[in-house]
Structure 1
Amino acid sequence: MLNGNKWHRPKIVVIGGGTGLPVILKSLRDQDVDITAIVTVADDGGSSGVIRNYVNVVPPGDIRNVMAALSKLPQLYLDIFQYRFNSKDQFFAGHAIGNLIIAALSEMKNGIFDAVQELSSMMKVDGHIYPAADEPLELNAEFADDTTITGESEISAAHKLIKRVWVSSRLHKDKQPEAVQPVIDAIMDADQIVLGPGSLFTSILPNLMISNVGDAVKKTQAEVVYICNIMTQKGETENFSDADHIRVLHEHLHDRFVDTVLVNTKKVPDEYIDYQRWNEMSKEVTHDFKGLKEQGCRVISDDFLELRDNGAFHNGDQVTAELVNLLGQPSWRDSAWR
């Protein structure tokens, strides 16, 4: 990408968490781009939640998966890093080795941010991995019935209509969470910001609700691209259209900051989804192209679907090809293109 008269590798910042983020990062890693992954630190489920409760560190699971996606280590090393104990031992059962390593380094380095930078070097990570905050955060939600709940897993399990979410410091209740400066610098220097794919309320918004992260995403000159989920999620986005996803993002940040939306239009075959195995999936996200345009977004619709293991997921290569294609187009933030 030309910057003045000089060529530089396009800088792509991907913000999110959960299982969708590594899918995109694995494909982006094969492109000639400078990747920064900003990863949520508000997870409280599974092995991550148990470790967090015992040793008061940022939940490491999402960071571990992103690190494996961007690592250039041989596959055997990655398999060991990702290995999850199936022992019946009360302590080790269910824990991933990588989670324990990240937790240990967090204690050694007195914080998750420096720990992840150290481990990224050890893991030969191609890119940058930045925890959204240098401390564990709690996700809070207010529902349509005006009740509130704290905790990412509890919010999803409540199966109620979410009105809004926000984050708070787990260790410093009177302190407003903030991202460290390298996170903000990466957003402001980016050529493209990618949100998702991932759970709207529990993977994407927890990052944006950190005040200086949200402000940076609104102020950056980079094009902001939202990868809309293929399936709605139980307890979060049931009956949502693609326009509903954007509306919620804009309402939370009080600004129309999303420039472009990638929407899958390939239908998921009837009876294909195993809803017992993928119990968080509800049904396909409906399309509301008029609503998306009313939100000020450019809409790119295509076949981004990958069917595997009786579930519906994004095809990382197809999505990445579109992201790279967008880098060569005039910015949607230019009013002449809106």
Structure 2
Amino acid sequence: MTEAFKVTTRPKIVVIGGGSGQPVILRGLKQYDTDLTAVITVADDGGSSGTLRDYLNMVPPGDIRNVMAVLSSLPQEIIDIFQYRFRKEDEMLANHALGNLIIAAMAEKERDIFTGVQTLAKVMDVQGHVYPVADEPLVLHATFSDGTTLSGEAEITAAHKRIDSIWVTPQDDSTNEVAQAPSEVINAILNADVIVLGPGSLFTSVLPNLMVPNVAEALKATRAKVVYIANIMTQKGETDDFSDADHLRAINRHVGDNVVDAVIMNTGVVPEDYIDWKKWNEVSHQVTFDPEEVRQEGAVPVLGDLLELRDDGAFHNGDIVAQLIMQIANSPEI
């Protein structure tokens, strides 16, 4: 850690999200002396995670697996085994990641996914806390701008239609109970110094966590600095033509209050001829950069060239984002 980011106390940082963006930020923050907690969406229903979710009635393990892999202090050779994905020719095990199967086994052994994840985190020497946002799989629902609705994260994503609003329900909704986060999740939010939202798919990775009612209430009540990491690219259907401020407005509107205190925004420009649009067919174009509009929404813009160009796509540089998060943690002005 550089002298510029040294803090007198160990900041408690909660990173809420899912998908591929969350591990990138956690990897950057892992370099600092922080008390890290990852709160992870459980509304995914595609791929290996979706198959295990359907067969075993468990929360989807994929995002949990990726976070554990990033925060684990085990040798890389073991992490590579944990992350190994069976080939598509392997019939029954086709496309399953070994770590997903291990998480499923731990959930069954402990008869509770939350306890199973905590036990596995100890075995994997995870540096921080890994909390599924709910003990049960959640179903994501969306209303689109044309008035139609769909249920299921994979179907909503595949529709490529402009989303107006989303909500979540327990997979077993026969009791008419609402989704609830475990007390550990709520206490982490209430006791945090900084809460990080994103980056990731706004309506299918970030907001599903915030639609769990006691999570939304905890966000309103916490004294932590709430930071949103603005996406670099828009997503077809989900956020076409969205600016940084549009993302911010969607978060505040869904939570029911202006909960975001700062927005980390990218100033780097994605070269027009760099993106492989066939490979990254979910992205549309670069998010519009508008710090003044963000200020009008009551949040402080925190600017930086966050761009990392790799694999013919545009991604966040996790190290730079982590530096900015640590600056916010130490700033008396936010």
TM-score by length of 2: 0.96
Q: Which residue of 2 aligns with 1:117?
A: 118
Determine if the alignment matches structure 1 residue 89 to structure 2 residue 90.
Answer: yes
After TM superposition, the structure 1 = structure 2 runs for residues 162-311 of structure 1, keeping only pairs within 5 Å, are 162-173=163-174, 174-311=176-313
Distance in 1, Cα, partners of 2:236 & 2:72: 32
Q: Which residue of 1 aligns with 2:3?
A: none
Q: What is the SS of the residue equivalent to 1:78?
A: helix
After TM superposition, the structure 1 = structure 2 runs for residues 33-182 of structure 1, keeping only pairs within 5 Å, are 33-173=34-174, 174-182=176-184
Q: What is the SS of the residue equivalent to 2:237?
A: coil
Give the deviation of 1:23 after TM superposition. Answer: 0.5
Give the deviation of 1:249 after TM superposition. Answer: 0.6
Q: Check the 8 A contact 1:243/1:292 in 2, yes or no.
A: yes
Q: Check the 8 A contact 2:141/2:149 in 1, yes or no.
A: yes
Q: Which residue of 2 aligns with 1:15?
A: 16
Give the deviation of 1:7 after TM superposition. Answer: 5.2
Q: What is the SS of the residue equivalent to 1:91?
A: helix
Give the deviation of 1:291 after TM superposition. Answer: 1.9
Which letter does structure 1 place at the counterpart of 2:102?
I
Which letter does structure 2 place at the counterpart of 1:235?
G
Give the deviation of 1:89 after TM superposition. Answer: 2.6
Give the deviation of 1:235 after TM superposition. Answer: 2.2
Q: Check the 8 A contact 1:264/1:305 in 2, yes or no.
A: yes
Change (3 A) 1:102 1:331: farther
Determine if the alignment matches structure 1 residue 312 to structure 2 residue 322.
Answer: no
Give the deviation of 1:289 after TM superposition. Answer: 2.4
Q: Check the 8 A contact 1:13/1:38 in 2, yes or no.
A: yes
Distance in 1, Cα, partners of 2:88 & 2:311: 25
Give the deviation of 1:330 after TM superposition. Answer: 1.1
Which letter does structure 2 place at the counterpart of 1:50?
T
What do the CA deviations read for 1:62-86 (whole angstroms, capped 9, x no partner)? 0000000100000000000000001
Q: Which residue of 2 aligns with 1:321?
A: 323
Which letter does structure 2 place at the counterpart of 1:282?
S
Distance in 2, Cα, partners of 1:327 & 1:161: 35
Give the deviation of 1:157 after TM superposition. Answer: 1.2
Distance in 2, Cα, partners of 1:220 & 1:97: 37
Moved more, 201-210 or 100-109: 100-109
Give the deviation of 1:228 after TM superposition. Answer: 0.2
Distance in 2, Cα, partners of 1:289 & 1:24: 22
What do the CA deviations read for 1:67-124 (whole angstroms, capped 9, x no partner)? 0010000000000000000151321110000001111111111221111100000000
Flag as ranges the 4+ runs of structure 1 deviating above 3 A.
Answer: none
Distance in 2, Cα, partners of 1:52 & 1:331: 44
Distance in 2, Cα, partners of 1:240 & 1:26: 27
Give the deviation of 1:288 after TM superposition. Answer: 2.4
* Structure 2 unaligned blocks of 5 or more: 1-6
Q: What is the SS of the residue equivalent to 1:18?
A: coil
Distance in 1, Cα, partners of 2:128 & 2:60: 21
Distance in 2, Cα, partners of 1:237 & 1:57: 29
Distance in 2, Cα, partners of 1:161 & 1:234: 8
Distance in 2, Cα, partners of 1:266 & 1:322: 15
Q: What is the SS of the residue equivalent to 1:126?
A: coil
Q: What is the SS of the residue equivalent to 1:166?
A: strand
Give the deviation of 1:331 after TM superposition. Answer: 5.1
Q: What is the SS of the residue equivalent to 2:257?
A: coil
Distance in 1, Cα, partners of 2:53 & 2:280: 25
Distance in 2, Cα, partners of 1:26 & 1:276: 28
Q: Check the 8 A contact 1:67/1:120 in 2, yes or no.
A: yes
Distance in 2, Cα, partners of 1:89 & 1:120: 28
Share of identical aligned residues, percent? 57
Q: Check the 8 A contact 1:223/1:331 in 2, yes or no.
A: no
Give the deviation of 1:32 after TM superposition. Answer: 0.5
Which letter does structure 1 place at the counterpart of 2:36?
I
Q: Check the 8 A contact 2:161/2:236 in 1, yes or no.
A: no
Give the deviation of 1:147 after TM superposition. Answer: 1.2
